A and B are shown apart, each in its own frame.
Chain A
Amino acid sequence: MAHYSPPTQSKVSQLIDVVVLVALTVGALFVPLWLGMAGSSKSVAAPVENPTWETLGQNATQAAQYEALGYTPASAHDLILARFDYSFTTGALLLMVAVIVLYYVLMLRFSEIEYREVISEKFGEK
């Protein structure tokens, strides 16, 4: 393979590259948060009115530890009763699998094309 000579990148172009990368990073990580699609939130399915340790399902030891931490049944209500919702659809699961597989296939395929150029220039053709 003929030796490849990369073009010289101007300072402005370098700066634009960095800005693009940072913008994409911040966007990918913050957009789900801003749109309220970040998941992970817990909710209380069945709130208890006038809660006591018993109605919150706590035994004597658990109640004593909560009190030692400074909680009352009222202040510990949400902490104790909030639960994650792990329900999901098959479609969503298949979408996730497809995205992950597509990503790695893309990665390996493009990498192989680039890698052959590298080896060819470094070591010469077979």
Chain B
Amino acid sequence: MAEVDITSKTMDGMGPHGTKVGLLRVLGPAHVWALGVGIVLVGEYMGWNFAVGKGGAYAALIACWFAGILYTCVAMIDSEVTSTVAAAGGQYTQAKHIVGPLMAFNVGLYLVFAYTMLEAANAITAGYLFSVVATMSGYEGTLDQRPFIILVIMFLAWLNYRGVLATLTFNLVITAIAFVAILVLFVSTSGLVGAGIMQHAALMEGAASLPYGWIGVLAAMHFGLWYYLGIEGTTQAAEEVRSPARALPFGTLAGIMTLLIAATLTWYICSGVLPWEFLGDGVNGSVAPLFDTARLSGSNGLIWLLGFGTLFATLASANGCINDASRAWFAMGRDKYLPGWFGAVHPKYRTPYRAIIFLVPIALIFALGAPLDQVITFSILSGLLEYTFMPLNIIMFRKKWPLNTIKRGYEHPFHPLPAIVLLSLCGITFFAVFLGYGTQLVAMIGFYIVVSLWFHFWRYRFVNRGAQFTMPWPKPQGY
């Protein structure tokens, strides 16, 4: 058994850095669930339907379930490692202690870009929603969505600036409403209560079943990730939860179960009402498929409910993304992987305020300057690189610190099977991205190679060596 209990409820991850003012430990398991599900649930309200466009409705369902397996592996692996790493930065901090500084720097950037792009996608969707509401209210022009996009990002950044408890409590409430809205739509349209409007057989007959054949199923895996992308963000709260060893695995695993249900229901509802070509085109067709389904239900109550559900889901997601991206940026600044100026905590609100403010214009650049599918692809690519790191991470973690050397809050079963499955599914998804977005894939990896060389040969000189290792773990085996 370990000599030190790394799952201590009182240990403060800030301590080893010598910082006098730390992040505030105020969150419980429900907040962790809200952070994870809140970021991701928007994936059911928009974006997942690009998978339908890539391969048809059946392909999107297969992708939904295989991506569900991928993320179940992510949640299991992440829960074990993070139940021992009670510090901000999530997978960045894991990589720093387990793989090495350069990997950590890359993982930190994956996190920041995945979440910042997701935040931009959310703001775009919110802007679209406002324009639809304006049209439905009788406005006869083309509403300029940009002020709403800017307003959404600025408001949520301000909320994050003011404090994490209020931010995630806000998320808890609006995420719950958005989830209930999906359940209500399912009950109201599926025939469980009253007459149903589902027409799966007629909408998916003939060529509409698998319009691209089996290669379309592979291609759909690209956007299949969008059903769940961001659930791994629960680990970013590690330094702000009261009991990391209990709350993080509980919140993360409850979150992935919630999302598996929500994703399957969403596919069932939308593919039973909307023709696949319209559903699968998230730019010129269905930007917000659950909302569009509600519009075809003929019920004003459902239209309003799903309108608010979509808006709340985008706000909750953008809110969680700002929270997570800023924690990762802050953690890298604190370690001097980035200029140390970013590693400051607000003296009153105890939030990483400089990181929060700095990332606002970055999100705005992409929200105002790139189309939705491209923004989503950028986010997915960063997430995919991160998920490819995770199997390597857990294999090295178990090798360097076997189960009997340090105490885990959670031990994931069947190791190394989840790692192998995860790595295989990541390989398939890389191929799926290559089928439509190969240029972006190569450009993004080229970017990471260049910044890695920049970090290794320039930036790393400003980093303290031994002081980066802040966990009270024993020396890793083999060193």
Given contacts A32-B443, A80-B277, A86-B435, contact A59 B205 (CB under 8 A): yes
The answer to whether A38 and B462 touch across the interface, beta carbons within 8 angstroms, is no
The answer to whether B440 and A39 touch across the interface, beta carbons within 8 angstroms, is yes
The answer to whether B102 and A17 touch across the interface, beta carbons within 8 angstroms, is no
- Chain A residue numbers with a CB within 8 Å of B132 are none
List B219-269 residues whose CB lies under 8 Å from chain A.
219
The answer to whether A118 and B101 touch across the interface, beta carbons within 8 angstroms, is yes
B274 an interface residue at 8 Å Cβ cutoff?
yes
Given contacts A32-B439, A99-B445, contact A86 B452 (CB under 8 A): no
By size class, the interface of chain A is 35 or more
A45 an interface residue at 8 Å Cβ cutoff?
no
- Chain B residue numbers with a CB within 8 Å of A21 are 338, 451
- Chain B residue numbers with a CB within 8 Å of A126 are 479
Interface-facing stretch out of B36-44, B168-176, B361-369: B361-369
Binary CB contact string for chain B from 432 to 467 against chain A (1 if under 8 A, 0 otherwise): 001111111111111111111010100111111110
The answer to whether A29 and B100 touch across the interface, beta carbons within 8 angstroms, is no
The answer to whether A3 and B466 touch across the interface, beta carbons within 8 angstroms, is yes
B301 an interface residue at 8 Å Cβ cutoff?
no
The answer to whether B100 and A39 touch across the interface, beta carbons within 8 angstroms, is no
User: B43 → chain A, closest Cβ, in Å?
Assistant: 19
Given contacts A17-B339, A62-B208, contact A39 B285 (CB under 8 A): no
Report the bound CA distance from A29 to B439 in whole Å. Answer: 10
Report the bound CA distance from A17 to B207 in whole Å. Answer: 53
The answer to whether A39 and B447 touch across the interface, beta carbons within 8 angstroms, is no
Given contacts A25-B113, A116-B479, A121-B465, contact A110 B296 (CB under 8 A): no
The answer to whether A118 and B466 touch across the interface, beta carbons within 8 angstroms, is yes
B370 an interface residue at 8 Å Cβ cutoff?
yes
* Residue of B277, B362, B443 touching A31 (CB-CB under 8 A): B443
Residue of A nearest to B457 (CB): A110
Given contacts A107-B102, A110-B452, A110-B456, contact A84 B54 (CB under 8 A): yes
Report the bound CA distance from A103 to B109 in whole Å. Answer: 15
B284 an interface residue at 8 Å Cβ cutoff?
yes
The answer to whether B275 and A58 touch across the interface, beta carbons within 8 angstroms, is yes
Residue of A nearest to B117 (CB): A29
The answer to whether A79 and B459 touch across the interface, beta carbons within 8 angstroms, is no
> Which of the listed residues B275, B296, B373, B444 has the most CB atoms from chain A within 10 Å of its own CB?
B275
List A20-62 residues whose CB lies under 8 Å from chain B.
20-22, 24-33, 37-40, 42, 57-62
Given contacts A118-B100, A118-B465, contact A96 B434 (CB under 8 A): yes
Report the bound CA distance from A57 to B211 in whole Å. Answer: 12
Report the bound CA distance from A60 to B203 in whole Å. Answer: 9
A74 an interface residue at 8 Å Cβ cutoff?
no
Report the bound CA distance from A108 to B95 in whole Å. Answer: 11
The answer to whether A59 and B452 touch across the interface, beta carbons within 8 angstroms, is no
Report the bound CA distance from A59 to B205 in whole Å. Answer: 9
Report the bound CA distance from A27 to B451 in whole Å. Answer: 12
The answer to whether B469 and A119 touch across the interface, beta carbons within 8 angstroms, is yes
The answer to whether A61 and B202 touch across the interface, beta carbons within 8 angstroms, is yes
The answer to whether A102 and B339 touch across the interface, beta carbons within 8 angstroms, is no
Residue of B nearest to A57 (CB): B207
The answer to whether B392 and A20 touch across the interface, beta carbons within 8 angstroms, is no
- Chain A residue numbers with a CB within 8 Å of B479 are 116, 119-120, 123, 126
- Chain B residue numbers with a CB within 8 Å of A30 are 369-370
- Chain B residue numbers with a CB within 8 Å of A14 are 339-341
Residue of B nearest to A104 (CB): B388
User: A87 → chain B, closest Cβ, in Å?
Assistant: 9
The answer to whether A79 and B374 touch across the interface, beta carbons within 8 angstroms, is no
Report the bound CA distance from A33 to B437 in whole Å. Answer: 11
- Chain A residue numbers with a CB within 8 Å of B281 are 79, 82
Report the bound CA distance from A70 to B268 in whole Å. Answer: 23
User: B49 → chain A, closest Cβ, in Å?
Assistant: 13
The answer to whether A115 and B99 touch across the interface, beta carbons within 8 angstroms, is yes
- Chain B residue numbers with a CB within 8 Å of A120 are 466, 479
The answer to whether B278 and A69 touch across the interface, beta carbons within 8 angstroms, is yes
User: A38 → chain B, closest Cβ, in Å?
Assistant: 6
Given contacts A88-B435, A119-B469, contact A68 B296 (CB under 8 A): yes
Report the bound CA distance from A20 to B446 in whole Å. Answer: 15
Residue of B nearest to A17 (CB): B339
B476 an interface residue at 8 Å Cβ cutoff?
yes
Binary CB contact string for chain B from 154 to 165 against chain A (1 if under 8 A, 0 otherwise): 000000000000
Residue of B nearest to A95 (CB): B442
* Residue of B203, B211, B443, B463 touching A6 (CB-CB under 8 A): B463
The answer to whether B438 and A96 touch across the interface, beta carbons within 8 angstroms, is yes
- Chain B residue numbers with a CB within 8 Å of A17 are 338-339, 459
B377 an interface residue at 8 Å Cβ cutoff?
yes
Interface of B toward A, CB cutoff 8 Å: 53-54, 99-104, 106, 113, 199, 202-203, 205-208, 211-212, 215-216, 219, 273-275, 277-278, 281, 284-285, 292, 295-296, 336, 338-341, 362, 365-366, 369-370, 373-374, 377-378, 388, 392, 430-431, 434-452, 454, 456, 459-466, 468-469, 475-476, 479
Q: Lowest 10 CB-CB distances: which A-B pairs, in order? A: A111-B100, A121-B466, A28-B447, A115-B100, A61-B202, A14-B339, A122-B466, A123-B475, A111-B103, A111-B102
**CB<8 Å pairs between A and B, sample of 8:** A7-B462, A29-B447, A32-B439, A61-B203, A83-B212, A92-B438, A104-B392, A107-B452
Extra 17 A-B pairs, beta carbons < 8 Å, given A38-B374, A86-B219, A115-B101: A4-B464, A6-B463, A7-B461, A7-B462, A9-B336, A9-B462, A32-B443, A39-B440, A40-B374, A79-B284, A84-B53, A84-B435, A93-B431, A110-B456, A113-B100, A115-B100, A123-B479
